[in-house]
Amino acid sequence: MQQQNITSLVDSGMDLHQVVKKQVDNQRHSFLQEGRPSAAVRIDRLDRAIRLLKENSDAICQALSEDYGTRHRFQSMAADVLVSIEALKHSKKNVKKWMKKERRGAKFPLNLFGAKAYIDYVPLGVVGIIAPWNFPIQLMFSPLANVLAAGNRALIKPSELTPVTSRLTADLFRKYFEADEVSVVTGGVDVAVAFSEQNFDHLVYTGAPGVGSYVMQAAAKNLVPVTLELGGKCPVIVGSGACIKDVVERVMTFKTLNVGQICLAPDTLFIREQDLEEFSIQAKKYVHDCFPNIIDNEDYSSIINDRHFSRLMSYLQDCESRGTAIVPLGDSEDVADQAKRKIQPVLLVNPDDASLAMTEEIFGPLLPVKTYTCLTEVINFINERERPLGLYYFGNDRSEISSIKDRTTSGGMVINDIAAHALQDNMPLGGVGHSGMGSYHGYDGFRQFSHARGTYEQGLFSASTIFKAPYKDSTLKLLEKLMG
């Protein structure tokens, strides 16, 4: 079946829910007709996804730049295209190994008579993927790599906030895939609502926790299992022995990459009072060296739209009204340029805990910095709030590292870097609690989008004879003996 444009189907009189349902039904029918796809079929689909990205990388980067207003080609090529290709290649390299059944020992004494027990990882069927706007290619193709490796079909809903990129990906998937393999549904919030209400075999959502809650409710009506990759306020703890210059370079790199519009971006930094001044000086130097004339600098991205620009400015204004020390790090006289939707990096020093900057996820270039005297107070602060997607520690004190590992819970943890775990294809990426549920990447993603079917092959004798009536005293005594 050729891929159809959703607008033409709606214009024909079908309602949105039925339009999306038709595509889900089409994929499920093909999935059931095909049966479990071979490794060769899965590799072919992964190869086509890799070709799609390689052969259209320039067009993808151009589309992302148009959606953002300003987004350097390097950022899009590295964070969206390359990371996606690496995820697909990793799945392609390992899919044959992942598909092998996982042997489990049959219980004694039946194992002595030829009984076998194993786990068979079977495809789920049709998986829905709702991708966000901040890395619309990476967060579409990274889960897709696992979905295809697991032998599933995929229906994708890209973000309406990146319309140029969304239209391009829809066109590209039509070129490289049949609609019953991988298909894209574009549109606004109404389409996203209809998409979330479908009877998928699994649904993946990456985005804000508030929307994630709705997606989960909609999926629950059909008992659809979900993987939610959400966000939260990822803390950075600068501990004993930390090199402040290294801290600044790694923290500010991820606070300025895509101008902090990253779910794993550092959100709040905790530092000892005696290190605050050096951190501020080094942060200013970093921004000056990397982004001269920051507002006009094409290396420095724009905020995605006016609504998010206004949201971030409201955080600044709220801190200002509360008397928070605000430290702009750029060399421009103006902190922000509304026409270009650019806000220079800003430190918010010891903001009120009730301020918007401390209660809402930043998702931008503002960085609250809190001073502390005792690590326990930082741990307590983190534990009193929602569990973050990532937690970062800088330093070389093993007792501090152990305390943080043992006394906090987060989706992932990185020591002496930022978000490095997300680049490891052989580690799961996922949240916990408010920051999400489930995970993908590598083998963990393959398992997430598979059903672990326990399979037992009986040998010469069956234990069922124990349960056969009439029951005898000798049988009861045997049970008592087995209980020990």
The proportion of the chain whose per-residue pLDDT surpasses 90, expressed as a percent, equals 85
276 near 310, Cβ under 8 Å?
Answer: no
Q: Which of 61, 197, 234, 263 is catalytic?
A: 263
pLDDT at 1: 43
> Tokens 């990459």 identify what position?
257
pLDDT at 255: 97
Q: What is the rounded distance in angstroms from the CA atom of residue 176 to the CA atom of residue 182?
A: 9
Q: Which of 61, 181, 197, 229 is catalytic?
A: 229
Average pLDDT over residues 311-321: 98
pLDDT at 413: 98
For helices 163-176 and 39-55, what crossing angle results, to 10°? 130
Q: What is the rounded distance in angstroms from the CA atom of residue 102 to the CA atom of residue 312?
A: 49
Per the annotation, the verdict on 374 as an active-site residue is: no
pLDDT at 460: 82
Mean pLDDT of all residues belonging to the chain: 94
Average pLDDT over residues 6-21: 69
424-446 tens-digit pLDDT: 999 999 999 999 999 999 999 99
Q: What is the rounded distance in angstroms from the CA atom of residue 260 to the CA atom of residue 233?
A: 12
Average pLDDT over residues 96-111: 86
Residue 300 has what DSSP assignment? S
Exposure string over 435-444, b if 16+ CB within 10 A, otherwise e: bbbbbbbbbb
In 87-245, the DSSP E strands lie at 102-104, 116-123, 126-130, 153-157, 182-184, 202-206, 226-229, 235-238
Nearest 5 degrees, angle CA 227-CA 231-CA 232? Answer: 140
214-267 tens-digit pLDDT: 999 999 999 999 999 998 999 999 999 999 999 999 999 999 999 999 999 999
Q: Is 157 left (phi over 0), alpha (psi -120 to 50) or beta?
A: beta
Span of 30-39, 103-112, 233-242 with lowest mean pLDDT: 103-112
Res 111 pLDDT > 90: no
Res 5 pLDDT > 70: no
Res 14 pLDDT > 90: no
User: Helical H runs in 155-305?
Assistant: 163-176, 189-196, 209-220, 244-256, 273-290
**Per-residue confidence band for 2, with pLDDT thresholds at 50, 70 and 90:** very low
- φ/ψ of 299, rounded to 5, equals -75, -15
Res 421 pLDDT > 50: yes
361-409 tens-digit pLDDT: 999 999 999 999 999 999 999 999 999 999 999 999 999 999 999 999 9
Residue 5: both structure tokens together:
């444009």
The proportion of the chain whose per-residue pLDDT surpasses 70, expressed as a percent, equals 96
Res 11 pLDDT > 50: no
* Terminal-to-terminal C-alpha distance of the chain: 62
Res 94 pLDDT > 70: yes
Burial of 7 (0-12, 13-18, 19+ CB in 10 A): exposed
Per the annotation, the verdict on 229 as an active-site residue is: yes
Interacting residues of 293 by C-beta distance below 8 A, sequence separation 6+: 331, 332
Give the residue among 166, 222, 229 at the shortest CA–CA distance from 197. Answer: 222
